[in-house]
Amino acid sequence: MTDVWRLDLIVGQEQAADWMRSLATDLAHQDQIPYDTALRLVCDRASDSEPRLLAAPGQIWSLHPEADPDEAPARRLAILARLTAPPRVLVTDPDDSAGEVDELLIEALDPYQLQAWQSADILLEGGGSQ
> Are 57 and 80 spatial neighbours (Cβ–Cβ below 8 Å)?
yes
> What does the mean pLDDT of the chain come to?
84
| Domain annotation covers residue 2 | no
Residues of the chain with pLDDT > 70, as a percent, come to 87
Please say if the pLDDT value at position 121 is more than 80: no
Structure confidence at residue 129 (pLDDT): 42
CA dist 35 and 33 (Å) reads 6
pLDDT tens for residues 30-76? 889 999 999 998 888 877 778 888 888 999 999 999 999 999 999 99
Question: Kind of pairing, strands 112-117 and 88-92?
Answer: unpaired
| Domain annotation covers residue 12 | yes
| Domain annotation covers residue 69 | yes
- Domain around 21: 7-125
Torsion angle in degrees (nearest 10) through CA of 6, 9, 14, 18? -40
Angstrom CA distances, 74 to 56, 82, 102, stand at 18, 18, 11
Number of domains in the chain: 1
- pLDDT-derived band at 13 (thresholds 50, 70, 90) equals confident
| Domain annotation covers residue 108 | yes
CA dist 18 and 7 (Å) reads 12
| Domain annotation covers residue 103 | yes
| Domain annotation covers residue 1 | no
